[in-house]
């Protein structure tokens, strides 16, 4: 047992993803355990975002299954939602709420008891303290990304699903991201992350989505 999240394994087996009529990937499998990180790699359109959305329960697999400690996650969607933080391409920032209010809102969605001290720490870690009272709509792209990433620290969740989290970040902020991921893993968390850029995740596994592509032109119904 670590001093944070209890030992767990998140895995997927024989996953098939269809978007529109196209088979994006087929027979895809992975496994991530406590303290581990998995990098999703592959060219544009190979299915990295789709796989992350599927892992987050936002998209349904055409077949195959996802398990947490061997139990299919679809058996209890609410429990699964409670164990993840998903940060996708679209920012979830409410434009009229301040940076601090946005963070408080997210923290309480995850944990109604979440205290202000945790949110303050998250703001400080992401270099947002001086912007705490600024409305979301006035942030730059990189500041919005940092606020979305601050959600990771505002309430605990063992599994972080991050879709190209380094986009719009300056080099110093990428270093901060690498640091909070390392700390999360040291506390028994897991991270699954897609990227086209250099994000240093020591010892991370790699999943190359193009290895699971269906033959060109495969249509739903043939491979699913
Ligand atoms: N809403 C949608 N409806 C139908 N097809 C979609 C939708 N979103 C994505 N797709 C298709 O699914 C496939 C995989 O897209 P996805 O965004 O998962 O790839 P990706 O590897 O994340 O790409 P990128 O590196 O460009 O971000 C692509 O062929 C894309 O056109």
Distance CA 47, CA 202 (A): 24
Residue with CA at minimum distance from ligand 1 atom 5: 19
Lining residues, ligand 1, CB within 6 Å: 19-20, 22, 24, 42, 44-50
- Domain 9-212, what fold? Rossmann fold (3.40.50)
For 75, the token pair is 């058996």
Contact assessment for residue 193 and residue 39, using Cβ atoms and an 8 Å cutoff: yes
Q: Tell which residue, 52, 59, 58, 75, has the closest CA to residue 19.
A: 59
Dump pLDDT digits (tens) for 27-69. 999 999 999 999 999 999 999 999 999 999 999 999 999 999 9
Closest residue to atom 17 of ligand 1, CA basis: 49
**Alpha-carbon torsion 55, 53, 201, 83, what sign?**
negative
For 203-212, what is each residue's pLDDT tens digit? 999 999 999 9
Among the listed residues 169, 215, 220, 222, the one whose alpha carbon sits nearest the alpha carbon of residue 17:
220
Distance of CA 166 to CAs 52, 157, 219, Å? Answer: 16, 20, 33
24 in helix, strand or coil?
A: strand
> How close is the Cα of 165 to the center of ligand 1, in Å?
17
Mean pLDDT of the 194-201 span: 89
CA 86 – ligand 1 centroid, Å: 17
- What is the 9 CA–ligand 1 centroid distance (Å)? 27
Q: What is the pLDDT of residue 96?
A: 96
For atom 9 of ligand 1, which residue has the closest CA? 19
pLDDT at 1: 42
State if pTM tops 0.80: yes
| Atom 13 in ligand 1: residue holding the nearest Cα | 45
């Amino acid at each position: 047992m670590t001093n944070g999240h209890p030992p767990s394994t998140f895995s997927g087996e024989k996953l098939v993803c269809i978007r529109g009529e196209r088979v994006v990937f087929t027979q895809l499998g992975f496994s991530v355990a406590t303290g581990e990180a998995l990098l999703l790699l592959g060219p544009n359109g190979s299915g990295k975002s789709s796989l992350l959305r599927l892992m987050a329960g936002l998209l349904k697999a055409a077949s195959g299954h996802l398990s947490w400690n061997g139990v299919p996650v679809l058996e209890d969607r609410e429990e699964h939602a409670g164990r993840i933080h998903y940060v996708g391409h679209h920012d979830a920032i409410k434009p009229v709420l301040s940076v601090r209010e946005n963070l408080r809102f997210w923290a309480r969605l995850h944990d109604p008891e979440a205290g202000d001290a945790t949110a303050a720490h998250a703001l400080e870690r992401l270099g947002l303290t001086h912007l705490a009272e600024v409305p979301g709509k006035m942030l730059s792209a990189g500041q919005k990304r940092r606020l979305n990433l601050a959600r990771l620290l505002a309430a605990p969740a063992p599994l972080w699903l991050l879709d190209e989290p380094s986009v719009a970040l300056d080099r110093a902020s990428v270093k901060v991201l690498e640091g909070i991921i390392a700390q999360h893993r040291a506390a028994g968390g897991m991270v699954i992350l897609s990227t086209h850029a250099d994000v240093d995740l020591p010892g991370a596994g790699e999943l190359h989505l193009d290895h699971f592509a269906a033959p060109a032109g495969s249509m739903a119904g043939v491979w699913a």
